[in-house]
């Protein structure tokens, strides 16, 4: 919340379709993260980026792609290769390396399959 804007709040995906979730921040944080939240499974890291034009895979990157062309933006694309995309997606920001002790989260995007 606060300086992190995720859109849309709700998104529906058709079979075989790629969809993109937006995450914009005005906190001037270097690091940005995408987490997936499923009931009873906590938050699982999809991708993260500590600097512009660089990003790393998290624990469940398969079927997802990201880009980091600007410090303020870190969009997540859920591709048709992700067979179980229904989940609550959270974007977060923080400092780099040891500075990433406090993560700030957006309000999330609920993705559902039609």
Residue in 15, 53, 54, 101 binding other proteins, rule: CB under 8 A: 101
Question: How far lies 34's CA from each of 15, 103, 114, in Å?
Answer: 23, 11, 23
Q: Within its chain, how far is the Cα of 28 from the centroid?
A: 17
Q: Within its chain, how far is the Cα of 17 from the centroid?
A: 18
Q: Is residue 66 a contact point for other proteins (CB under 8 A)? A: no
Q: Is residue 41 a contact point for other proteins (CB under 8 A)? A: yes
Q: How far is the CB of 108 from other proteins (least distance, A)?
A: 6
Instruction: Find where tokens 């559902």 sit.
Output: 112
Q: How far is the CB of 85 from other proteins (least distance, A)?
A: 19
> Which CB sits closer to other proteins, 45 or 80?
45
Q: Is residue 106 a contact point for other proteins (CB under 8 A)? A: yes
Residue in 28, 42, 54, 83 binding other proteins, rule: CB under 8 A: 42
Whether 109 and 101 have beta carbons less than 8 Å apart is answered as: no
Instruction: Find where tokens 């921040």 sit.
Output: 25
The gap between the terminal CA atoms of the chain, to the nearest Å, is: 28
Q: Which residues bind other proteins (CB under 8 A)?
A: 1, 4, 35, 40-45, 48, 58, 90, 92, 97-98, 100-103, 105-108
């Amino acid at each position: 919340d606060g300086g992190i804007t995720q859109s849309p709040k709700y998104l529906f995906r058709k079979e075989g379709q790629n969809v993109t979730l937006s995450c914009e921040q005005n906190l001037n944080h270097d690091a940005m993260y995408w987490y997936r939240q499923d009931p009873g499974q906590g938050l699982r890291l999809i991708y993260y980026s500590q600097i512009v034009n660089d990003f790393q895979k998290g624990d469940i990157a398969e079927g997802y792609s990201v880009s980091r062309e600007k410090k303020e933006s870190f969009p997540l694309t859920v591709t048709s290769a992700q067979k179980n995309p229904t989940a609550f997606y959270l974007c977060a920001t923080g400092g780099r390396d040891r500075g990433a002790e406090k993560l700030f989260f957006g309000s999330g995007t609920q993705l559902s399959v039609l």
